[in-house]
Amino acid sequence: MRPASVWLLRLLPALLLPVSLGRPAPAAEPRPADSAVTVGFDGGYRTNAWTPVTVAGDGIAPGDVLHVWAEDPDGQFVRSPPGVAAAGADGRPAARFTVRFGRPTGRLRIERAGAAGAAIVERRLPEPLPSTARIVLCAGDLPAIDEAARIIAREGEPVPRVLPLTAGRTAAGAAARDYDAVEAIVVCGRAVADLPADVMQGIDAWVRCGGRLVLVAGGSAEGLPPTAAGWLPAACNRTVTLRRLGGLETHARAGRLPPRAAAGVRVPVFSAAGPLPGVVDVTEGSGGSGTPLVVRRCHGLGTIAWLGVDIDEEPFRDWPGSGTLLANLLGGRPEPLDGEGAAAGSGRDTDLAMQLRTAIERFVATAASPAVTPVPFEVVAAIGLLYVLCLYPLDWWFVSRAGGRPWVAWSSLAVLVTAFTAVAWGVHAARQPRSAPGGRTCTVTEVVDIDAVGGGVRGSGWAAVYSAVNDRLDVGLEVEPAAERAVSWWGDAGRGFAAVDAAMPHPALAAADYAYAGSLAALAGVPIAAASSRVFEAEWHAQRSQAAVTADLVAAAQGTLRGTLAHHLPMTLEDCRLVHGGWLYDVGRLEPGQRYDTAGGRGPRSLAAALTRRSAVKERDVAARWNPAAADAERILEVAGFHAAAGGAAYTRGGGGRLARLDLTPLVRLDRAVLVGVAARGQAAWSFTGGQAPARGLYRIVIPVAPAAATER
């Protein structure tokens, strides 16, 4: 055999050395379809978001235990917690699940246990919407919703998709997580009767966790069921005929309605003794007096905008102003991007969620976790290039000089492979932590939002885990007090490398399926390859039985605050700030029970200036330019928490992504203030195989603010 041929045979095995932790078990042979799958909302759903799935069919009996499998961004299937089939509204047995789709393929596996063992059938679902798509749900026949969606579309992005919320064509239920992909929900009063009670409960829970709801209910406000009646500004006493339409016409900035159009329009009258909660944007007359017609208010950590006329009926169905009215309630027309922001934002290649992922994967050294220093790409490329050069032509030249003896060729191969393996191992070992338990290190962070009015608590956490060896992890989240928890993989939005909408999955070296350990609170057997990392996200909800804060804050002139507050959390809050309207108060350190008086501290300063680090440069206020490559997790969460107040995409040159739900700007622009502080330890702790990792917590307490007129009597 010629030496060159010997070299080619030796090089081929060296290039075919993939690392794998195990291959997924082969699925059972597909059987004829005997089950129907309902996914999302009328078949519409989105990648990278929690999605409701219902499996029903004649072949499923009550009490049957089912699982569904969905792909993660690496193309690995994740097995859901068990679902028990029960009789649905149509009488057919059905099992309900909530899963996340990390690939745009629409593949779903259905597993059902039987006497002969588990049978798995793979289904092809409709193609999902991309992870960057915005979704608006609409319950009712509302022609203006399409025009409103075009108005609120952001520069360089497609128009938000409007999906129908119709009984029998949605898989959503009473869990707030079912509406994770939704940006806003519009409900017409006349369509409420067609919505199942569990769907209305789920919408209400979603709003309390930070959602945006628009309720269109004029004459239809009478007779609303209890859940929907709670979305009104106050209890509806009766309805009366609208006398004037000037307020609506002025607010919509549209052409006048036909004369005598108000003759048949009914509007509700509320039984509230005092002023309505929130902000009254539109009244019956053009001068700000008369019956309220548009009211925006807080509902938990979310907002509800109520429109007091049924624009799904005449004379509003064909009125051009109906689309503008609805768009204003959905957030209005977005701010235009500047030149650089438009260029960066049009592709939406980055967002704050991607930036946070990069930040927590830096693995900075802490007392609990040593630092991980990645091997530079230049070093890896140099070692690989040197390896190829040693194989050919150097080794070929050496073997040819030795007379082409086969034993010399195989001996030199063994020497080269051993030498370069030792070099690669040594470079890797020199960069890894020496004291990490089990060869792992992790970075965790957490945001805890508390509604001081209703007592609701929402926690959001992220964890990045690095492993120096091939491993399988059990990942969970422990929260005190007990809370509803959900842990999942974390994937980047868009079509970039390893993102959820990429044409090809990320070529993971640890190619093995894994599963949830009985509930969404923990994952079992997550594969991780040596010298690689995985990132997870979690969200949990709880209810506080004790008050988190006592306060008597009042809105004074220019939107500033006066009054006192004290928090009652069992930890000290550092670097506290109080935010309301467009103002920020530097509070400092707050011990449990320690009172803060707005009159005794430093005066308020501009919230936008504080968020953008604005400073005076040559007698001009200049905002510090946002750095998309910055890796400061606390700074990223600070801006994401009040993203709209900082300027939105015009400042960060990208959206919030998965962090958009953290934005509390809509609340502080109404009748709420937010106390922000950092604690040494959060309320949740991540549990991994072999230990726990507590998170440093960012706490945000949402506090009611009384209007000045309520106290000046």
Token pair of 426, please? 């040594």
- Phi/psi for 317 (5° steps) reads -60, -40
Integer-rounded Cα Rg, in Å, for the chain is: 29
Q: Is residue 682 in a domain?
A: no
Q: Are 508 and 434 in contact (CB under 8 A)?
A: no
Token pair of 403, please? 């007379």
Which of 96, 124, 152 terminates a domain? The answer is 124
Nearest to 692 by CA among 485, 483, 474, 467: 474
Residue 288 confidence class, pLDDT cut points 50, 70, 90: low
CA distance 191 to 495: 37
Which of 482, 508, 543 terminates a domain? The answer is 543
- Phi/psi for 657 (5° steps) reads 60, -135
Average model confidence (pLDDT) across the chain: 84
Same domain, 571 and 622: yes
Averaged pLDDT for residues 379-390: 82
Token pair of 675, please? 């106390």
Q: Is residue 352 in a domain?
A: no
Same domain, 185 and 323: yes
Residue 439 confidence class, pLDDT cut points 50, 70, 90: low
Same domain, 188 and 320: yes
Q: Is residue 342 in a domain?
A: no
For residue 369, pLDDT over 90 is answered with no
Same domain, 204 and 297: yes
The answer to which of 43-47, 239-243, 435-439, 514-518 has the lowest mean pLDDT is: 435-439
Q: Is residue 334 in a domain?
A: no
Which of 405, 433, 461 terminates a domain? The answer is 433
Q: Is residue 351 in a domain?
A: no
How many CB atoms are closer than 10 A to CB 630? 12
CA distance 562 to 601: 11
Same domain, 556 and 625: yes
Residues 6 or more apart whose CB falls under 8 angstroms from that of 481 comprise 542
How far CA 704 is from CA of 199, 451, 668, 674, in Å, comes to 28, 9, 10, 9
Tell me the pLDDT tens digit for each residue of 582-621: 999 999 999 999 999 998 867 799 999 999 988 755 556 6
Displacement of CA 200 from its chain's centroid (Å)? 21
Phi-psi map region of 11: left, alpha, beta (phi>0 left; psi -120 to 50 alpha): alpha
Q: Are 188 and 143 in contact (CB under 8 A)?
A: no
CA distance 491 to 471: 20
Same domain, 265 and 161: yes
Strongest mean pLDDT among 329-338, 401-410, 465-474: 465-474
Which has more pLDDT, 431 or 365? Answer: 431
Same domain, 414 and 318: no
Averaged pLDDT for residues 291-304: 95
Same domain, 234 and 375: no
CA distance 299 to 279: 13
Residue 506 lies in domain = 438-543
Find the distance separating the first CA and the last CA of the chain, reported in whole Å.
Answer: 104
Displacement of CA 431 from its chain's centroid (Å)? 33
CA distance 176 to 205: 5
For residue 434, pLDDT over 50 is answered with no
Q: What is the CATH number of the domain that holds 71?
A: 2.60.40
Residue 557 confidence class, pLDDT cut points 50, 70, 90: confident
Tell me the pLDDT tens digit for each residue of 623-650: 788 998 888 999 999 999 999 999 998 8
Tell me the pLDDT tens digit for each residue of 495-521: 988 899 998 887 766 678 999 998 999
Which has more pLDDT, 402 or 24? Answer: 402
Token pair of 713, please? 């009597």
- Provide the number of structural domains found in the chain: 5
Token pair of 460, please? 């959001």
Same domain, 381 and 240: no
Instruction: State the pLDDT at residue 403.
Output: 65
For 50-98, what is the HEC assignment? EEEEEEECCCCCCCCEEEEEEECCCCCEEECCCEECEECCCCCEEEEEE
Q: Is residue 129 in a domain?
A: no
Which has more pLDDT, 545 or 536? Answer: 536
For residue 338, pLDDT over 60 is answered with no
Tell me the pLDDT tens digit for each residue of 109-155: 999 886 556 788 999 999 999 999 999 999 999 999 999 999 999 87
Q: Is residue 336 in a domain?
A: no
Tell me the pLDDT tens digit for each residue of 12-67: 334 333 333 344 444 443 343 446 899 999 999 999 999 999 998 767 888 889 99
Q: What is the CATH number of the domain that holds 145?
A: 3.40.50
Instruction: State the pLDDT at residue 438.
Output: 56
3-state helix vs strand vs coil in the chain, percent to 5: 25, 30, 45
Residue 347, helix vs strand vs coil: helix
Same domain, 142 and 265: yes
Share of the chain above pLDDT 70, in %: 84
Q: Is residue 9 in a domain?
A: yes
CA distance 469 to 418: 19
CA distance 466 to 468: 7
How many CB atoms are closer than 10 A to CB 84? 12
Same domain, 159 and 237: yes
Nearest to 676 by CA among 602, 556, 581, 588: 588
Give DSSP secondary structure letters for 114-170. ETTEEEEEEEEPPPPBPTT--EEEEES--THHHHHHHHTPPTTSPPPEEEE--TTSB
How many CB atoms are closer than 10 A to CB 30? 12
Same domain, 43 and 186: no
